[in-house]
Structure 1
Amino acid sequence: MTDTPPDRLDANPKSRYHDAAAMERGVGIRFNGEEKFNVEEYCVSEGWIRVPFGKSLDRRGNPMTVKLKGEVVAYFRDAQ
């Protein structure tokens, strides 16, 4: 595995952008210079993150999310 996290990653295991190895290693997200801990999905090249919107759930039981645009920096939390 490389030292750079994937360009796009989703926490939902059913998504095609889910990477179990990267999730197990731990990916940190810095959005507009602020550390975010509640990111559901991100894309560095397109510059957006998805975060939960309150405690609302969709009809499948997944959290409702809102897409925020800005500068996204992804990094691995461990120094492996």
Structure 2
Amino acid sequence: MSDTPPDRLSVNQKSPYFDEATLMRGIGIRFKGVQRRDVEEYSISEGWIKVQVGKKMDRKGNPLTITLNGPVEAWFESPAPGEGDADEAKPEGE
């Protein structure tokens, strides 16, 4: 079974693409070959990320974001609960 992150994910709780359980595992993002830690939202299939523009806020208090286009790669930074433990419990000979 492949353990791939969702095609689109957002850190904004008001977004329909917000998923707290997925975010708790940690998502790594590589955009145009550079690992990014400031991504607010991404879409792998559409090839874009949204990042915050400095400390600017819109009139509703949300961070002001800019959309950047290019190749996006995503991965989980930690295994799913129970997956990492199952591999460690197996004897080496089997």
TM-score class normalised by the smaller sequence: over 0.9
The residue aligned with 2:48 is 48
Give the percent of matched residue pairs that are identical in Structure 1 and Structure 2.
Answer: 54
Structure 1 segments of 4 or more deviating over 2 A? none
Distance 2:69 2:7 in 1: 15
**1:77 paired to 2:60:** no
Equivalent AA in structure 1 for residue 54 of structure 2:
G
Task: Give the alignment's TM-score, normalised by structure 2.
Answer: 0.80
Equivalent residue, structure 2, for 1:33: 33
Query: 5+ unaligned residues in a row in structure 1: which ranges?
Result: none
Q: Which amino acid aligns with 1:4?
A: T
Equivalenced residues, count:
79
Instruction: Give the structure 1 partner of residue 15 of structure 2.
Output: 15
CA displacement 1:19-48 (0-9 Å, x = unmatched): 111101101100000000000000000000
Superposition CA RMSD, Å: 1.0
Helix, strand or coil at the partner of 2:39: coil
Instruction: Report the residue type matching 1:75 in the other structure.
Output: W
More off after superposition, 2-11 vs 33-42 = 2-11
TM-score of the two chains, using structure 1 as the length reference: 0.94
Counterpart residue identity of residue 51, structure 1: V
Greater share of helix = 2
